[in-house]
Structure 1
Amino acid sequence: MSAEAVVQAAVLAVLRADAVLSAGLNGVFEGPAVKASTPFAELGDLLSVDWGTKTAAGRELRVALTIRDAAETNARVQRLADAAGRAIERLPRALEGWRVASVVLVRLRVLRGPPGRWSATLEYRVRVMANEGDVE
């Protein structure tokens, strides 16, 4: 499988398996949630660039997650963003055909929308190398 598909599936799995997020969110969706009620999380577009060497395939991926909420303050969306970040940072290092070299938070942004609406967007850089002998 491609690095993109494997990493996206792994990120979804760790987010959906996290106890804090399961208790606090009405779902973690792959892409825009059409009929979800707040709070919920959406996995955004995935950006992928080459991170290989002369002898091994590698990818650097940018993974974005947005948590949307309706509340008086940003306290809950911030708490959920913190839990999501901890979950993403626990990404397994051995994935199907790939090994994770690093998982680094690039940015976290908490935004105020219309009155009573909040969102937190996390962007992570995930670098992976193909397992020896595996071909994309």
Structure 2
Amino acid sequence: MTAAEAIMTAATAALQALEGVGVYDGAPLRASFPYAVVDAGAETDWSHKNGVGRELRIAVTLRDGGERPTRLRRLMGEAEAALAAVAEMAGWHLVTLRHVRSRLVREGRGAEPRGWMGVIEFRARMLALDTV
């Protein structure tokens, strides 16, 4: 399993603990609010002399409807806490998982906005277990 697959699987599993939130590893065609999408972005080499390592960016996008983003703010905090609890995963040791940035914005324009979107980005540094 690649580092990206391992961290996405672990993050998706951790986010399942968010009550009432659908969790997807890719943009769903149809989903009801609130829901979360996990995506692994840029991946760079983080190897050392004797082993394989990867540094990845992980983005968790949460979407919700409503007049105000109160519930989405709470869900963003819960999502960050859930990911902080991730430890081991298939074939990889998670060395660090750091919050890089987050943002909450209104989606849609005009008289009928569609809801709210919150994005939390993390930097994960991982080592392959056979080289730890």
**TM over 0.5, shorter chain:** yes
Cα deviation for residue 41 of structure 1 reads 0.8
Q: Name 2:15's counterpart in structure 1.
A: 15
> Percent identity among equivalent residues?
34
Q: What count of residue pairs does the alignment treat as equivalent?
A: 128
Show the 5 A alignment for 1:78-89.
78-89=73-84
Q: Which residue of 2 aligns with 1:34?
A: 29
| SS in structure 1 at match of 2:29 | coil
CA distance in 1, matches of 2:122, 2:20: 21
Aligned: 1:124 with 2:118 = no
Q: For residues 42 and 121 of structure 2, what CA distance do their matches in structure 1 show?
A: 11
Kindly state the Cα deviation for residue 103 of structure 1 after the two structures are TM-superposed: 0.6
The answer for the alignment partner of 1:2 in structure 2 is 2
How much has 1:52 moved relative to structure 2? 0.8
TM-score by length of 2: 0.90
Q: Is the 8 A contact 2:94 2:126 kept in 1?
A: yes
Whether the aligned pair in 2 keeps the contact of 1:72 and 1:116 (CA below 8 Å) is: no
* 1:33 partner letter: P
Q: Structure 1, residues 91-111: CA drift from partner, whole Å, max 9, x if none?
A: 11x222211110100011001
Return the TM-score normalized by structure 1. 0.87
SS of residue matched to 1:24: coil
Aligned-residue CA RMSD (Å): 1.5
Is the CA contact (8 Å cut-off) linking 1:24 and 1:80 kept in structure 2? no
Please tell me whether the aligned partners of residues 31 and 45 of structure 1 are also in contact (alpha carbons under 8 angstroms).
no
Residues 37-56 of structure 1: pairs in structure 2 closer than 5 A: 37-56=32-51
Say if 2:52 and 2:131, in contact at 8 Å, map to a contact too: no
Mapped partners of 2:128, 2:40: distance in 1 = 22
Q: Distance in 1 between matches of 2:30 and 2:114?
A: 18
Instruction: Quote how far apart the aligned CAs of 1:132 are.
Output: 3.5
**1-side partners of 2:73 and 2:86: how far apart?**
20
